[in-house]
A and B are shown apart, each in its own frame.
Chain A
Amino acid sequence: MHPEDKASDALLIAKLKERDPNALSAAYDRYGTLTFSLIVRITRDSSVAEDLVQEVFLRLWNRIQDFDETRGSLNVWVLAIARNMAIDYIRSSHSRFTAKTRPLDQTDFAPISYKANEVDNTLDNSKAVREAFTSLNPNQRKVLELAYFEGFSQSEIALRLEEPLGTVKSWMRSALTRLRTAMQEGRPK
């Protein structure tokens, strides 16, 4: 996150904690599209995503006092709420047959499209990180997607991909190490 984003987030959090309704508008303007996009990606249902986005921001509004800035950014918190809600939704039996039983080749492994330029206000998009993403091999991308968008554990991913658990752990570890290293290298000195 850029320093100016961090500063504006701090102000936004302070205003949210003061229950300033304009701060909620600002939070939606800042994170609404990303939140909606994440939930659509997980649930594959725009209508459900609209309902869940409303719940995410309602929770942000009602639980902002619980937010601890020392543990991470507002962006991470909002997206974590959204991701958890969406994954909970697709794990419910109501949606199981419409979301999770689609053939793998239709849904799970769509090529990762790196959109750094479109989300540049919300994450560290240093050149090193961009390169790290594009340098991941298909297996590394696959396991990251299954963990991030489906909420699968490593053993669930191994079952899903019919690969040994050790192999999945290795792909996951190497992918995360590459991202971590890239972020450390891309950090301003």
Chain B
Amino acid sequence: MTHSEMDELYELYLLGALEFEQASEIAEHVSQHCAYCLAQLKESSRVVESLQSLIELKQPPPELRARVLAAAAPPAPKSRPQWPAAFALACAASVALAFWGLGQQNRLEEVSRQRNELRSALAILSEADTKTVSFGQAQTEPQGRVFISRNGGVVFLGNRLPELAGGKTFEFWLVPAKGNPQAAGLFKTNAQGIAVNVLAKSFNPADYAAVAVSIEPAGGSPQPTSKPILIVPLA
């Protein structure tokens, strides 16, 4: 394709409306810093910019501004880990890892899933009735917290969990005062060694004596098949 043949394609290239072959030809010129193409693209970007006129303006909620600024703010120095912040970081790290570690389609699905999980977890943490149970004070054992809300559900946040062998997963259990443990989610640790499991459902904490974590075959088990690595009494 000659430059004159490309002249009517630069806006379409910027819009992503070209077919792969044509787009890749222009992309190749751009990657080689073709001065003509770069100048044409800059000019074409003004036309694409004018398409903003098609956008019907809607005011974002006022609180979004603070949220955006907080997300970019450098973390304040803390002497001890702040669990909600650590949780958010863990989720963000997981999202980032998922984003770079998977194929495009899977990435989007994983990011979307984790975004929903993060949203559920933050909802639980912000419930007025949320109670916190800490575990693992000794340096050598798993450490973390369990956040429990009658209305929202349960968030498990832990670190120093043992390394998983291939084909294994952590499984989270609700342990009733009477009866068998109830499966409540599968999870793994992220690159920072932090694990998060979110169970978003209303339940009565008084019906449960503890939560527990066991190592199960990938895909999980209906009932624990190994001795729990962690039991956290809720009373």
Contact = CB atoms under 8 A, between A and B. Distances in A.
Nearest to B16: A151
Nearest to B72: A61
Interface in A57-90: 57-58, 61-62, 70-73, 75-76, 79-80, 87-89
A148 B115 contact: no
A58 B71 contact: yes
A79 B53 contact: no
Contacts of B48: 76, 148
Contact of A54 (B8, B46, B51, B68): B68
Contacts of B60: 32-33, 36, 49-50, 53
A172 B15 CA distance: 11
A124 B50 contact: yes
A130 B54 CA distance: 11
A41 B19 CA distance: 24
B216 interface: no
Contacts of A148: 15, 48, 51, 54
A124 B51 contact: no
Contacts of A53: 60, 64, 68
Nearest to B48: A76
Given A123-B49, A176-B12, A179-B50, A94 B109 contact: yes
Interface string B54-94: 11111111001101110111000000000000000000000
Interface in A75-117: 75-76, 79-80, 87-89, 91-95, 112-116
Interface of B (DSSP majority class): helix
Contacts, number: 169
Enumerate the 3 nearest inter-chain pairs by beta-carbon distance, A residue then B residue, closest first: A92-B108, A36-B60, A72-B45
Contact of A92 (B15, B53, B73, B105): B105
Interface of B: 8, 11-12, 14-19, 38, 41-42, 44-61, 64-65, 67-69, 71-73, 104-105, 108-109, 112-113, 115, 119
Interface string A36-52: 11101100001001110
A133 to B, nearest CB: 6
Contacts of A40: 58
Contacts of A122: 52
A118 interface: yes
A154 B18 CA distance: 6
A124 B60 CA distance: 23
